[in-house]
Chains A and B, each alone.
Chain A
């Protein structure tokens, strides 16, 4: 019986770095989203652009917060 050890998909030591970078990118895109929301007037706001920005931002924020949880010892 050849038993192979299973490791995590991403090395545990990478979690803090990854969480910093993904969260930073996510927050920047979130900022872009809110700046767009605040500056563009109601008439010429483009829904597609809003949805695209928010989707990208939530992917980065989602992974970033997951890595933050893992880095701080909350293994989900």
Chain B
């Protein structure tokens, strides 16, 4: 308070000695200012009508603020507009930069606006200026107890501080619907409801300044994020994951004395008005998998409502926040990829809002980390305002080279900064396959290990009796398997022969049947040749002594079956050649058929027995 009055004094002194011929070409014919202090941010909207009364054309316009406001300027936009009321059109956003011209005292912040086209003699132009200031609503008193209401103070000038002469100007201050403690009364001051009007004041000289102070009660949440880290992770598998880490502090009047939970809970209205309980985050539509947690774990006090335009997340910190109290929490949510990621001219770009989704939250230090998929190249960022940029690498799930991260930093961010930023990059869809390939090779390595393990020999003594016995037994088993597979093949060949007989009875084609017989004959011969050495091995092997009789029996039965089958085949074929009747043939093979079935059954039983070894 003291500091700022000294500032004001200095400012006035400086103004008194200031001679400003450099700026005198332009005249502001009408200035309307509106200051909205219903939230913790002082949002100033100005409509300036500029006339060039000089002889030379002017292409630069100078905006000035008292330094104590200028230092807290968070957002400034100047729009060239046309028309009035409903027919008003915004033509162009003008570029604004901080300037430091000579001849202006240090107690004034200067911004230079480049006009859309040079303003020649006698022409007029309308500018719409929106400026947002943080920390200009000073709590007064600075410390209050739990039951006190929260009073804040705004300092401004009733006359518009400008390097140009002003013909007519007025100021409206919109206050919240609460008590108004006091305000500076000048001539032409009116209080209408919760609006204070100063002016209109006519024919002001350049750098006119007349300080005013408004002292009023504010019920707004003075929630300030000291640091907010937003991590936006893009996955081309269909998701944009946003994780936000908040360090929130109540920047209003500090709490004096102790906090009584009983008083707060029992009678929340008079006791604890200066605290805030909720924060509202307005997330994009179709946000899903939303969570709200801190270091302890999930915080269950949150509510969500969603419709087609937005998703409202109302979060309640673990405790109400009084002045000076801090809390930390994290919220996270997933967003559908197709709402935010686009492709244009071969480049992909992420189009996402910059600031925090929290309503009326001021962020002192905002760090936005955009994590792009692994393999992204040629990264560039476009932002509607200046931010500090850098790049990092982040290692996450299934990464080899790491993901490129674009880090954007900005101080003093207000909700007006919630504009869309674009992160452009190049990415080939082939890179998408790297993750499944990594998983596939992981599994494959596992299988290869199993294959090697089953082939490896881990016995320590290679000459022990048990080891040798085991080796022999392995060989016996392998031989048994081969025998089995050969017998199976034989049985399959038998089936083929039977099938050829059935074909014969259907078509009467004896030649094909004979051909089939020939091929099966040779096949069976080959198989029995293969079988011979295996049988020899089994007979010679001592460890197979209890199995070999069974195997021999199997082989013998199989041979018998073969013979019976051949006999049956010959009978049938002969019958057909002699053109005997079907019944006749059937009668002749009936007894053979019975034996064949019995043998087949026996063989299958034996196979089953061997299988169980």
Binding site for B on A (CB under 8 A): 1-12, 33-34, 37, 40-45, 47, 50-51, 54-55, 57-59, 61-63, 65-66, 69-70, 73-76
Instruction: Chain A residues near B441: list those with CB within 8 A.
Output: 58, 62
Complex formed: what's the CA distance from A66 to B190 in Å? 68
Question: Is there an interface contact between A34 and B450, defined as CB atoms closer than 8 Å?
Answer: yes
Question: Is there an interface contact between A62 and B443, defined as CB atoms closer than 8 Å?
Answer: yes
Question: Is there an interface contact between A42 and B474, defined as CB atoms closer than 8 Å?
Answer: yes
Question: Is there an interface contact between B478 and A12, defined as CB atoms closer than 8 Å?
Answer: no
Instruction: Chain A residues near B439: list those with CB within 8 A.
Output: 61-63, 65-66
Residue among B237, B341, B446 with max Cβ neighbours from chain A (10 Å): B237
Binding site for A on B (CB under 8 A): 233, 235-239, 241, 289, 334, 336-339, 341-345, 348-349, 351, 396-398, 429, 432, 435-437, 439-444, 446-448, 450-451, 454-455, 474-475, 477-478, 481-482
Instruction: Chain A residues near B237: list those with CB within 8 A.
Output: 8-10, 12, 70, 75-76
Complex formed: what's the CA distance from A51 to B569 in Å? 43
Question: Is there an interface contact between B432 and A5, defined as CB atoms closer than 8 Å?
Answer: no
Instruction: Chain A residues near B334: list those with CB within 8 A.
Output: 73, 75
Question: Is there an interface contact between A5 and B454, defined as CB atoms closer than 8 Å?
Answer: no
Instruction: Chain A residues near B475: list those with CB within 8 A.
Output: 43
Complex formed: what's the CA distance from A1 to B343 in Å? 10
Q: Which of A6, A12, A43 contacts B342 (CB 8 A)?
A: A6
Minimum distance in angstroms from B332 CB to a CB of chain A? 10
Complex formed: what's the CA distance from A33 to B437 in Å? 20
Q: Which of A3, A12, A58 contacts B443 (CB 8 A)?
A: A58
Instruction: Chain A residues near B236: list those with CB within 8 A.
Output: 6, 8-9
Which residue on B lies nearest to A34, using beta carbons? B450
Minimum distance in angstroms from A55 CB to a CB of chain B? 7
Question: Is there an interface contact between B337 and A3, defined as CB atoms closer than 8 Å?
Answer: no
Question: Is there an interface contact between A55 and B444, defined as CB atoms closer than 8 Å?
Answer: yes
Complex formed: what's the CA distance from A8 to B455 in Å? 43
Question: Is there an interface contact between B477 and A45, defined as CB atoms closer than 8 Å?
Answer: no
Q: Which of B238, B351, B443, B478 contacts A43 (CB 8 A)?
A: B478
Q: Given contact pairs A4-B343, A9-B237, enumerate 17 new A-B contacts (beta carbons under 8 Å).
A: A2-B344, A3-B343, A4-B344, A6-B338, A6-B343, A7-B337, A9-B432, A40-B481, A41-B478, A42-B478, A43-B475, A50-B447, A51-B451, A55-B444, A58-B442, A62-B439, A62-B442
Question: Is there an interface contact between B233 and A75, defined as CB atoms closer than 8 Å?
Answer: yes
Complex formed: what's the CA distance from A8 to B446 in Å? 30
Question: Is there an interface contact between A62 and B241, defined as CB atoms closer than 8 Å?
Answer: no
Question: Is there an interface contact between A58 and B440, defined as CB atoms closer than 8 Å?
Answer: yes
Which residue on B lies nearest to A65, using beta carbons? B439
Q: Which of B241, B339, B342, B448 contacts A3 (CB 8 A)?
A: B342
Residue among B236, B349, B474 with max Cβ neighbours from chain A (10 Å): B236
Instruction: Chain A residues near B341: list those with CB within 8 A.
Output: 5-6
Question: Is there an interface contact between B443 and A75, defined as CB atoms closer than 8 Å?
Answer: no
Q: Which of B342, B397, B477 contacts A41 (CB 8 A)?
A: B477
Which residue on A lies nearest to B439, using beta carbons? A62
Question: Is there an interface contact between A12 and B238, defined as CB atoms closer than 8 Å?
Answer: yes
Known contacts A5-B341, A6-B343, A8-B238: does B447 contact A41 (CB below 8 Å)?
A: no
Minimum distance in angstroms from A58 CB to a CB of chain B? 4
Complex formed: what's the CA distance from A4 to B343 in Å? 5
Which residue on B lies nearest to A64, using beta carbons? B439
Question: Is there an interface contact between A74 and B397, defined as CB atoms closer than 8 Å?
Answer: yes
Known contacts A8-B236, A76-B397: does B444 contact A54 (CB below 8 Å)?
A: yes
Known contacts A5-B338, A6-B348, A62-B440: does B235 contact A75 (CB below 8 Å)?
A: yes
Question: Is there an interface contact between B481 and A44, defined as CB atoms closer than 8 Å?
Answer: yes
Question: Is there an interface contact between A62 and B477, defined as CB atoms closer than 8 Å?
Answer: no
Minimum distance in angstroms from A1 CB to a CB of chain B? 5
Which residue on B lies nearest to A26, using beta carbons? B443
Instruction: Chain A residues near B437: list those with CB within 8 A.
Output: 62
Instruction: Chain B residues near A1: list those with CB within 8 A.
Output: 344-345
Complex formed: what's the CA distance from A10 to B436 in Å? 14
Instruction: Chain A residues near B238: list those with CB within 8 A.
Output: 7-8, 10-12, 70, 75
Complex formed: what's the CA distance from A75 to B432 in Å? 12
Instruction: Chain B residues near A47: list those with CB within 8 A.
Output: 451
Which residue on A lies nearest to B475, using beta carbons? A43
Minimum distance in angstroms from A11 CB to a CB of chain B? 8
Question: Is there an interface contact between A42 and B440, defined as CB atoms closer than 8 Å?
Answer: no
Known contacts A42-B478, A75-B239: does B436 contact A58 (CB below 8 Å)?
A: no
